[in-house]
Amino acid sequence: NTKVGNATNANFPVDDDGVVYHLGVARDGLAPRVLTVGDYGRAEKLRDKLLDANTKVTTTQHRGFHIHTGTYKGVRVSIVSIGMGTPMMDFLVREGRFVGVGPMAIVRYGTCGSLRDVPVGSLAIAKDCVLIRRNPDHWHPAAAAAGDVKPYDISLPWEGDSELISKLTDAFKTEIPDRKVIVGTNATADSFYSSQGRQDSNFDDHNQDLIDQILKRYPEASTLEMESFQLYHMAARSIAVPIKAAAATIILANRIDNTFLDNDTKVKLEVEGGRACLEALIKIDL
């Protein structure tokens, strides 16, 4: 477990050893090729099953970032679990860029809900991402009286790196030929619940028609999850040194027929898909 010493700069906190405040590593503490997942167990599984023996180093940090660095087929990679939500992805991309050396490629491999009627256990690749944000002003008495603030904002799309996305699509087709792979628009939400159109009678969410609104504006919307938009947007705005980004997901929840994937298949797809992500990462030119 790494310990960050006294940080000296409020704008971008780094300690005397150059260790960044949240990721807990210093320069080159992250490989230029990064596979990021939400779940800590998924990252450990991928490290144990896929990284070359005797190359693995793990750092964990009190904010929950676990970084496993080693080689895959002889190429240095990091597998990083970040937990959930766009702020965690923001930490990874910003602090990862600060400690990373040279151009980078980052692939996210997560789970999602599907807006298309495909079987759970299919795989999805995001060609671009939009952000769905709950706007609390909608419920505020001062705005509610005027009645003109929509409860959810749907952003414009940001694209991933087309070459990395194409390598990822090829790798999924090669590594997991028996699974359906769809490519479309991802909608990244600021909640698993209201901003993904889930109905919850305990709360006043005004989201009955949210999924219809997303599909009306973006007919290619395919998946709902909670991080990929931040990766695509921040990678596209990395103006000093390039970051190539791509994102794929296991379809865990079918939001049309309300089915949910069993755990055994999920575990199998985590490893098979993780291998596909690493294949794409080692094939991309940086």
Q: Which residues bind ligand URA (CB under 6 A)?
A: 111-113, 192, 196, 224-226, 252-253
- At position 163, the amino acid (one-letter code) is E
133-192: contacts with ligand R1P (CB under 6 A): 192
DSSP 9: -
Q: Say whether 2 sits in a helix, a strand or coil.
A: coil
Do the beta carbons of residue 192 and residue 200 sit within 8 Å? no
CA distance 172 to 259: 23
Which of ligand URA, ligand R1P, none does 194 bind, CB closer than 5 to 8 A by kind?
none
For the CB of residue 260, give the shortest distance to ligand URA in the complex, in Å.
8
- At position 246, the amino acid (one-letter code) is A
Q: Say whether 185 sits in a helix, a strand or coil.
A: strand
67-126: contacts with ligand R1P (CB under 6 A): 84, 110-111
Based on the shown chain and the rule CB under 6 A, indicate whether residue 225 belongs to the binding site for ligand R1P.
yes
For the CB of residue 196, give the shortest distance to ligand R1P in the complex, in Å.
9
Give the bridge partners for 158, in sequence order.
129
Based on the shown chain and the rule CB under 6 A, indicate whether residue 207 belongs to the binding site for ligand R1P.
no
Q: Which residue is nearest to ligand URA (CB)?
A: 113
CA distance 38 to 87: 12
Which of ligand R1P, ligand URA, none does 227 bind, CB closer than 5 to 8 A by kind?
ligand R1P
Q: Which two tokens stand for residue 255?
A: 């939001």
For the CB of residue 16, give the shortest distance to ligand R1P in the complex, in Å.
33
Question: Looking at 227, 247, 255, 261, which residue binds ligand R1P (CB under 6 A)?
Answer: 227
For the CB of residue 192, give the shortest distance to ligand R1P in the complex, in Å.
5
Which of ligand URA, ligand R1P, none does 196 bind, CB closer than 5 to 8 A by kind?
ligand URA
263-283 vs 162-175: helix crossing angle, rounded to 10:
130
CA distance 70 to 82: 18
Q: Which two tokens stand for residue 16?
A: 């005397």
Based on the shown chain and the rule CB under 6 A, indicate whether residue 254 belongs to the binding site for ligand R1P.
no
For the CB of residue 110, give the shortest distance to ligand R1P in the complex, in Å.
3
